[in-house]
């Protein structure tokens, strides 16, 4: 799940970064929109946008409008000191998740923002759960078509050039490289030299034991280089 912040105030950037360590921060709408165009289809995205940047009062609104056109399921949270501009969100039909006023007390802002992020994550999880996400996995000179939601994890078959695609009720072998699989979709995350998981199906993670448990109860090892990546997913 991707988190993005459009904010040119360094103090507010640090404040939100402390709450969402893995958030990607952009000072200018142009830079954020360029990045949006590079996102993979069906990726899960949460945006926190300031409405006014520099001397442009509608910068955040226009940015949100472009984001909504590019990603109908994007979760957009407005973080602004200009409450008088929030009515523009209705005019542009942006379907904003929440409006958070910078002038409120810091503890109130924090509670409101964390609640909004939780709601955004829940919304995206529901969308991912019920919406089919078709993938084409490489399989030698051909492709294996599969719904991403049905993939629990993918494992290297020891001593061969094959991968095992583990679903909730299926097991399929494909001829491919594990490193190539992770570039197909943001939810496919490598956690070990031999394992790639669907991040949407993580149940729990024990950093002490370096073990990740999936929703079907299967536990997989997590190599040290991937520890931080897994922590950011939770």
Indicate which CATH number applies to the domain containing 119.
3.40.50.2300
pTM assigned to the model: 0.58
- Residue 154 to residue 146: CA distance in whole angstroms: 12
Is residue 117 domain-shared with residue 145, that is, in the same domain?
no
Domain stop point among 114, 130, 146: 130
Is residue 79 domain-shared with residue 143, that is, in the same domain?
no
The domain total for the chain is: 2
Q: Across the beta sheet with 219-221, what order do the strands follow?
A: 202-206, 211-214, 219-221
Is residue 206 domain-shared with residue 149, that is, in the same domain?
yes
Residue 164 has pLDDT above 90, yes or no: yes
The highest-confidence range among 37-41, 72-76, 132-136, 151-155, by mean pLDDT, is 151-155
Reported as a single tens digit per residue, the pLDDT across 8-53 is 999 999 999 999 999 999 999 999 999 988 887 667 899 999 988 8
Reported as a single tens digit per residue, the pLDDT across 105-116 is 999 999 999 999
Question: Is the CB of residue 8 less than 8 Å from the CB of residue 49?
Answer: no
Is residue 69 domain-shared with residue 22, that is, in the same domain?
yes
- Residue 177 to residue 187: CA distance in whole angstroms: 17
Domain, as residue range, for 171: 134-233
Domain stop point among 101, 130, 159: 130
Domain stop point among 98, 130, 162: 130
Is residue 121 domain-shared with residue 20, that is, in the same domain?
yes
Question: Is the CB of residue 4 less than 8 Å from the CB of residue 26?
Answer: yes
- Residue 161 to residue 174: CA distance in whole angstroms: 9
């Amino acid at each position: 799940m991707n988190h993005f912040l459009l904010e040119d105030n360094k103090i507010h950037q640090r404040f939100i970064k402390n709450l969402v360590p893995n958030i990607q921060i952009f000072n200018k709408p142009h830079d954020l929109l360029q990045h949006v165009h590079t996102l993979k289809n069906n990726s899960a995205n949460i945006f926190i946008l300031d409405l006014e940047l520099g001397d442009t009062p509608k910068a955040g609104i226009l940015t949100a409008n472009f984001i909504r056109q590019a990603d109908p399921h994007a979760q957009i949270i407005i973080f602004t000191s200009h409450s008088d501009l929030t009515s523009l969100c209705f005019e542009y039909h942006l379907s904003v998740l929440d409006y958070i006023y910078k002038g409120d007390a810091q503890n109130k802002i924090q509670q409101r923002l964390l609640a909004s992020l939780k709601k955004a994550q829940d919304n995206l999880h529901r969308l991912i759960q019920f919406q089919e996400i078709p993938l084409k996995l490489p399989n030698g000179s051909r492709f294996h078509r599969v719904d991403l939601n049905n993939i629990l994890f993918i494992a290297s078959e020891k001593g061969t050039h094959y991968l095992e695609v583990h679903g909730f009720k299926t097991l399929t072998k494909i001829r491919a490289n594990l490193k190539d699989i992770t570039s197909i979709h943001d939810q496919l995350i490598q956690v070990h030299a031999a394992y790639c998981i669907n991040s949407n199906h993580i149940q729990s993670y024990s950093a002490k034991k370096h073990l990740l448990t999936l929703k079907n109860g299967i536990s997989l090892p997590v190599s040290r280089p991937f520890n931080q990546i897994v922590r950011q997913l939770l």
